[in-house]
Amino acid sequence: MTTATGAPSVSTTTQPRAQVVAAPAAPTTFPNAGNTGVPAGVTLTDYTGPREITKANTVIQNVRIKGGSRIIISAPGVVIRNSVISTDDTFGVSVNNDDVSNASVVVEDSEFVGSYDPKPADEMAIRGRGWTIRRVEIRGFRDGGGIDGNNVIEDSYIHDFVVSSACEHADGLQGLGNTSNITIRHNTIDMALDHCMAGVIQLGTEFGSNHNVAVDDNWLAGGSWIFYSSLLPGVSSDNIKFTNNHLSKKYFPNYGVYGVCHNWIAGIAGVQWSGNVDADSGKVIQAPVT
């Protein structure tokens, strides 16, 4: 293990997982507060290492990263585990792909905690290309994460979104196009906001097309739409799969304010809508007609 310079010495002993408990957001078969985040029994110490990680394969674990600037990932193979990330920046973790093309990070068994009082709402827990989160709890942000390419989000719980003003855009996970290789699998995304929001999952095309996106086996509720796909003329996307998801009417009778999906792109190569059901009744939800 390589520990970031200046970081406190921490134990590498595997800690027991927290007992799974029921949460009102979703059935216990889906991620909730009891089976995501820092495992029970882990003792956290304050992180004193660098805010920019430049050494490949650095491992940061069992720490509380609080205040100050975001953690910038400028190296490949970085791992953050068993930690709480709560910075004073607009982001918690940012992957620096502009300067280091192969920069990447895996965040697992950890928590991102945003805040907005008295400062504006934290924009996003994690952003950039090449990041993966597993068994992570994200709360208190305007957007859960930026799906910019080569991202995996699995077994995680994203909830309690905040905005600084009544007309501030918010998304569970936000992609703005020119992306590929996104996997969103077995997560709970609970979006209670009822104003000025877009999608529980937004797959926009403002910056280009999207390729190889799989949204599978998630519990999803809220948003203007559950799946917000904002197509633009002349922009093509392919291999977009929305499968086996459990959509909840917890907040709105149409799942989202306006429905399950904005601009579904049926007929494009590799597009698939199948196995999606009502979270309570199990009734199959057919592909939207646009």
In a domain, 19, yes or no: no
Residue-wise pLDDT tens digits, 18-45: 333 333 445 568 999 999 999 999 999 9
State the CB neighbour count (10 A cutoff) for residue 69: 13
Q: Tally the domains of the chain.
A: 2
Range of the domain at 56: 1-6+27-136
CA–CA distance, 127 with 73 (Å, rounded to integer): 10
Does some domain include residue 11? Answer: no
Q: Residues 169, 141: contact at Cβ < 8 Å?
A: no
Query: pLDDT digits over 197-248, tens only?
Result: 778 999 988 888 889 999 999 999 998 889 988 666 566 778 899 999 999 9
CB proximity list for 207: less than 8 A, separation 6 or greater? 176, 177, 178
Same domain, 279 and 172: yes
**Residue at 144 is within a domain:** no
How many other β-carbons are positioned within 10 Å of the β-carbon of residue 152? Answer: 18
- Summarised one tens digit per residue, pLDDT across range 201-215 is 999 888 888 899 999
| Mean pLDDT, residues 252-267 | 86
Q: Are residues 171 and 124 in the same domain?
A: no
Strands 210-216 and 246-248: unpaired
Structural domain includes residue 212? yes
Give pLDDT, residue 4: 47
Predicted pLDDT at 232: 60
Q: Which tens digits make up the pLDDT trace of 101-143?
A: 999 999 999 999 997 665 666 789 999 999 999 999 999 898 9
Q: What is the pTM of this model?
A: 0.87
Are both 2 and 128 inside the same structural domain? yes
* Average pLDDT taken over every residue of the chain: 86
Give yes or no: residues 116 and 176 share one domain.
no
Strands (E), 119-170: 124-127, 131-134, 137-139, 143-146, 151-154, 157-159
